[in-house]
Amino acid sequence: MIKTPYLLFLGDAPDQLAAKVAQGIKDWRPDNAVAQFRMEGCGADVGLSDMTLAEAQAAGAKTLVIGVANRGGIISAAWKEILIEALNMGYDLASGLHNLLTDEADLVAAAEANGRELHDVRIASVDYPIASGKKRSGKRVLAVGTDCSVGKMYTALALDKAMQAKGMKSTFRATGQTGILITGDGVPLDAVVADFMAGSVEYLTPPNDDDHWDVIEGQGSLFHVSYSGVTLALIHGGQPDALILCHEPTREHMRGLPDYTPPTMQQVADLALPLARVGNPECQVVGIAVNTQHMSEDEALAYLAAAEAEMGLPAVDPYRFGAERLADALAAL
């Protein structure tokens, strides 16, 4: 287990989206984070106090969590000095990057010299099976997005919270490093070897009570050419009974792909549903989750009303206005 509370390392994150790991911890487990640590030029701010390593340690922080995900998941040279200083001061480190802490000889040496721990939450520590495709008991809902980083994890966490508030049985199932850091359990799907992706999702969402819902965190997008294979493995391994469409309406191009225009919600539904029905012929799209963070409240409410009318499905911003209507839609299935 990773020692809490954390100091959240935002490094030189170019923008707010790059700090979504830290933002997720702050939003869903605020008691676990005492402060944020930002380097000069950092373009992110998750709304915690800025503290030095010494100040945060005095405030009780035990682990420096790398709360920023850059493209390719590299531990840059610019970060190293701070990470080593933290180890020397008595912090553990935790990271979900592809570039493992334990692959960096200087970090390993500093950790050993100081008796500290390096937690790489992205490492797949289980030999996952090849997916069997067998029908499992219990129910599953999966968030599918028009793009990466549109709010699929937040939607799943908010939906899980709303379902539990209604007295429904539900479990949030993390498939990425942030979700794993938040819940302490899950499958680091983007680090799983190709042949075992769908099997790892079956492993994550085993047979359960007939009235229990697994709320599965989505990854990537069928329309994001870098990661679409991961998305389809979730759709086929997760065998969802229900899909929630996740969208961010102000995105001008697909994240990291300047030549790619985001699809409409209808385009995602038109591809995701027939693909999902290969694994579960009963699957339905039950609702829409819109990330309205870049809209005024009036704009957001108008957009949601228009989306609801156009798609004939409940449309909410689960983070801003709550996920109760999505929970109601699942309860009604």
Which stretches of the chain bind its own copies, using CB under 8 A?
A: 71-72, 98, 129-135, 189-195, 197-199, 222-223, 225-233, 236-237, 239, 254, 257, 259-260, 263, 270-271, 274-275, 278-279
- Nearest approach in angstroms of CB 156 to its own copies is 19
- The two tokens of residue 305 are 């009303």
Residue among 40 and 259 whose Cβ is closer to its own copies:
259
The distance between the two most distant Cα atoms of the chain, rounded to a whole number of Å, is 61
CA-nearest of 198, 64, 216, 241 to 143 is: 216
Residue among 141 and 230 whose Cβ is closer to its own copies:
230
The rounded distance, in Å, linking the Cα atoms of 81 and 89 is 12
Sheet holding 212-216, edge to edge: 169-173, 212-216, 139-145, 242-247, 284-290, 315-316
- Nearest approach in angstroms of CB 158 to its own copies is 26
- Nearest approach in angstroms of CB 95 to its own copies is 15
Q: Which DSSP category does 128 fall into?
A: P
Residue among 21 and 159 whose Cβ is closer to its own copies:
21
The amino acid occupying position 152 is K
The rounded distance, in Å, linking the Cα atoms of 6 and 30 is 10
Residue among 44 and 191 whose Cβ is closer to its own copies:
191
The amino acid occupying position 315 is A
Element (H, E) at 124: none
- 8 near 35, Cβ under 8 Å? yes
Residue among 163 and 235 whose Cβ is closer to its own copies:
235
- Nearest approach in angstroms of CB 21 to its own copies is 15
Q: Cβ–Cβ contacts within 10 Å for residue 15, how many?
A: 9
- Nearest approach in angstroms of CB 37 to its own copies is 26
Burial of 254 (0-12, 13-18, 19+ CB in 10 A): buried
- 67 near 29, Cβ under 8 Å? no
Residue among 166 and 253 whose Cβ is closer to its own copies:
253
CA-nearest of 126, 112, 114, 211 to 171 is: 211
Residue among 80 and 98 whose Cβ is closer to its own copies:
98
Q: Which DSSP category does 184 fall into?
A: S
- Nearest approach in angstroms of CB 189 to its own copies is 6
- Nearest approach in angstroms of CB 205 to its own copies is 13
- Nearest approach in angstroms of CB 81 to its own copies is 25
CA-nearest of 63, 294, 263, 259 to 147 is: 263
Q: Which DSSP category does 254 fall into?
A: B
- Nearest approach in angstroms of CB 267 to its own copies is 8
Q: Can you name the residues that pair with 212 across neighbouring β-strands?
A: 169
Residue among 133 and 322 whose Cβ is closer to its own copies:
133
